[in-house]
Amino acid sequence: MAEVDVNKVVRQHAEMDGFFTGFAIRGKTAAPNDSAPVAAVSSANASSPIPILASNPQSAIRNPQSSSSDAAAELEAVAGEARQCRKCQLGSTRTNCVPGEGHPRARIMFVGEAPGADEDAQGRPFVGRAGQLLDKIIAACGLQREEVFIGNILKCRPPENREPRPDEIVNCLPYLQRQIEAINPDVIVALGGHAAKTLLNTIKGITQLRGQFQEYYTGIGRPPIKLMATFHPAYLLRNYSEQNRRYVWEDMKKVLAELGLPIPERSKGG
């Protein structure tokens, strides 16, 4: 087993706390359970997929008046099929399938690469250290995790967190495509190069792709969905640089502006 560099882990935690905390909207500190009117909670794992209606006109939940039950039912169906899936070897090496979770009418959909060890153990996306940092980024945006949808290109963990293989991506991508079509988000945030390259069908790197909106096509004749690529939280943890964090924050501010959502500012002393 690889040796854990305890000092590095402690330093990373301190660094994580530093950059994405202390943001506020209208004098209110943005924190995980502290954002304005709580919208809805629903997940691919939830027993009741029907969301509560959001009351905030600047909501991160899309079109709260329309029925969400179709989207929720499709997300449940996708999750059920992914859990049964044995199209590639990952279906037998995984502990739990990680279909993704979040609001069926989320206006923002985060897409990562593949589950890691913590996600594999819990069957939930982004719950390890990269997930904790993603939670901080979401909270810095003045949002709650339950207001967005979080998924991955691969629904099962590659052993030893190795990179996804092309055949695995080809087999697994239809699940994500169906989730995107069901949710129909206003913006997809692709976390890292793998997610961005896969969704945009390009060989361009994340440094080239991030920072401006790209277009994700769900099909001929359908309007594209805006896609913002940004650095993966795991990359931020591995390669500490304040500039990289700043880039992610700049990317997220563009997403909030696109959605007409308030952009939190760093409060004094934050």
Residues that bind ligand URA (CB under 6 A): 112-116, 119, 125-126, 128, 130-131, 152, 234
Tell the smallest beta-carbon distance from residue 28 to ligand URA (Å): 29
The CA-CA-CA angle for residues 67, 218, 208, to 5°, reads 120
- CB-closest chain residue to ligand URA: 112
Shortest separation between residue 129's beta carbon and ligand URA, angstroms: 9
- Residue 37 DSSP code: S
Is the four-CA dihedral 185, 191, 195, 196 of positive or negative sign?
Answer: positive
| Helix 129-140 vs helix 6-19: crossing angle, to nearest 10 | 10
Q: Under DSSP, is residue 138 helix (H, G, I), strand (E, B) or coil?
A: helix
Give the contacts of 9 (CB within 8 A, at least 6 positions apart): none
Q: What are phi and psi of 158, to 5 degrees?
A: -70, 135
Q: Which two tokens stand for residue 157?
A: 């963990």
Q: Which is nearer to ligand URA, 23 or 231 (CB)?
A: 231
In the complex with ligand URA, which residue's Cβ is closer, 49 or 192?
Answer: 192
**Cβ(143)–Cβ(25) below 8 Å:** no
Structure tokens at 260: 């007409």
Rank residues 51 and 233 by Cβ distance to ligand URA and give the closer one: 233
Toward ligand URA, which CB reaches closer, 125 or 142? 125
110 and 66 in contact (C-beta within 8 Å)?
A: no
Work out how close the CB of 226 gets to ligand URA at its nearest, in angstroms, rounded to a whole number: 21
Give the residue carrying structure tokens 């009741």.
48
CB of 116 to ligand URA, least distance (A): 4
Nearer to ligand URA, 68 or 113 (CB): 113
| Residue 26 Cβ vs ligand URA, minimum distance, rounded to whole Å | 32
Q: Which residue lies nearer to ligand URA by CB, 19 or 126? A: 126
Q: How far is the CB of 191 from ligand URA (least distance, A)?
A: 6
In the bound complex, what is the minimum distance in angstroms from residue 176's beta carbon to ligand URA? Answer: 12
Q: 117 with 158: CB under 8 angstroms? A: no
Q: Could you count the other beta carbons within 10 Å of the beta carbon of residue 57?
A: 8
Q: Which is nearer to ligand URA, 146 or 264 (CB)?
A: 146
